[in-house]
């Protein structure tokens, strides 16, 4: 089962877009997850709700918002265009769409991972003279590594499968924004495209299964170790 050139381009593009998207999403998600897990502040439920919006809104709506904000003449888009860093109709725009759509999954997974770290250990580290950054990088993060990897796997899968927001924001441009799900959609919509659609579907299934396995493995081993202790 070999993919056609167009299908291969879409597959490679999807990997590029998803990896970059999740990588960019990660620092923001870590910060937000830490705030949710370890701090209290006025308006926290509202903040949480806003973070989960991409999960709840129809992807097309999210894509439309991205278009208004980051497209040409957009509130942020115009500055990007002026700086030569335009994301409209580019793979970077597709990566942004992927990042936004994967973000809530990442925040939820990271928050759970941070909350599972015993605060008593963090307190002990504080009494030993560690400041908040040292506690975070030296204690919280290493002890939440499994949850982190699981979250990344799921977020990657979500980014990889992103369709509605992407096609609404950056349309379908082969080699730039036509990711695997978009290519798949086009093949399904074309009479005679069934065999190509099947090939791409199989690829998508493999990726989804691998992501699930990684996530399950990480979370399962974490649970077993607790049971032993």
Partner 1 sequence: MRRIQRLVACVMVAGAGALGSAMAAAVPPTIFAAASLEPALDQMAHEGALGTPAPRLVYAASSALARQIENGAPADLFISADERWMDDVARHDAIVPSTRIDLLGNALVLIAPPHSMSKVQIGQGPAPWLEALGREGHLAVALPDSVPAGIYAKQSLTKLGMWQVLQPRMAMTRDVRAALNFVVLGQCPLGIVYRSDAVSELRVKVLATFPAASHKPIVYPAAIVKGHDDDATRALLAALQAERARGVFRRWGFDVLAH
Partner 2 sequence: MIELDLALRRGEFSLDLALQSPARALALFGPSGCGKTSTLLGIAGLLHPDRGRIAIDDRALFDSDANIDLPPAHRNLGVVFQDARLFPHLSVRDNLRYGMPHAAAKHAFDDVVHLLELSALLKRRSGQLSGGQIRRVAIGRALLRQPQALLLDEPLANLHREARAEVLEHLRGLKRGFALSTILVSHQPDEVIALADSVALIEDGRLAALQSAEAFRSSTAASGVPIAANACATG
Residue of 67, 108, 150, 155 that binds partner 1 (CB under 8 A): 67
How big is the site for partner 1, counted in residues (CB under 8 A)?
22
139 contact choice in partner 2, partner 1, none (CB below 5 to 8 Å, kind-dependent): partner 2
Kindly state the tokens that stand for 111: 């928050």
Binding to partner 2 by CB under 8 A, coded x per residue (else -) over 107-136, reads -------------xx-xxxxxxxxx-----
How big is the site for partner 2, counted in residues (CB under 8 A)?
15
Span 172-211, contacts to partner 1 by CB under 8 A: 172-173, 178, 185-186, 188-191, 193
Burial class (CB in 10 A: 0-12, 13-18, 19+), 78: middle
186 contact choice in partner 1, partner 2, none (CB below 5 to 8 Å, kind-dependent): partner 1
| Cβ closest to partner 2, residue 146 vs residue 178 | 146
Q: How many other CB atoms sit within 10 Å of the CB of residue 107?
A: 26
DSSP for residue 39:
-
| Cβ closest to partner 2, residue 24 vs residue 135 | 135
Buried b (16+ CB within 10 A) or exposed e, 205-218: eebeeebeebbeeb
DSSP for residue 140:
I
Given a contact cutoff of 8 angstroms between Cβ atoms, the answer to whether 55 and 104 are in contact is yes
Per rule CB under 8 A, is residue 188 in the interface with partner 2?
A: no
Residue of 44, 72, 134, 221 that binds partner 1 (CB under 8 A): 72
State the greatest distance between any 2 C-alpha atoms of the chain, in Å, as a whole number: 68
- Looking up tokens 């979250």 gives 151
Q: Which residues contact partner 2 (rule: CB under 8 A)?
A: 120-121, 123-131, 139, 142-143, 229
């Amino acid at each position: 089962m070999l993919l056609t050139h167009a299908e291969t381009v879409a597959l490679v593009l999807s990997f590029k877009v998803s990896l970059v998207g999740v990588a960019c999403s990660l620092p923001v998600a870590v910060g937000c997850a830490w705030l949710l897990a370890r701090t209290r502040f006025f308006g926290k439920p509202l903040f949480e709700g806003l973070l989960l919006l991409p999960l709840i809104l129809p992807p097309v709506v999210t894509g439309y918002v991205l278009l208004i904000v980051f497209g040409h003449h957009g509130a942020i888009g115009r500055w990007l265009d002026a700086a030569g860093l335009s994301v409209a109709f580019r793979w970077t725009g597709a990566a942004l769409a992927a990042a936004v759509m994967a973000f809530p999954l990442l925040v939820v997974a990271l928050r759970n991972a941070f909350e599972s770290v015993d605060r008593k250990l963090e307190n002990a580290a504080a009494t030993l003279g560690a400041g908040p950054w040292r506690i975070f990088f030296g204690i919280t993060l290493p002890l939440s590594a499994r949850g982190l990897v699981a979250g990344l796997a799921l977020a990657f899968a979500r980014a990889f499968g992103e369709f509605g927001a992407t096609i609404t924001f950056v349309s379908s441009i082969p080699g730039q924004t036509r990711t695997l799900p978009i290519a798949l959609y086009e093949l399904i919509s074309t009479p005679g495209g069934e065999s190509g659609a099947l090939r791409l579907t199989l690829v998508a299934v493999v990726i989804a299964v691998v992501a699930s396995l990684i996530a399950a493995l990480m979370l399962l081993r974490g649970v077993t170790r607790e049971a032993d202790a």
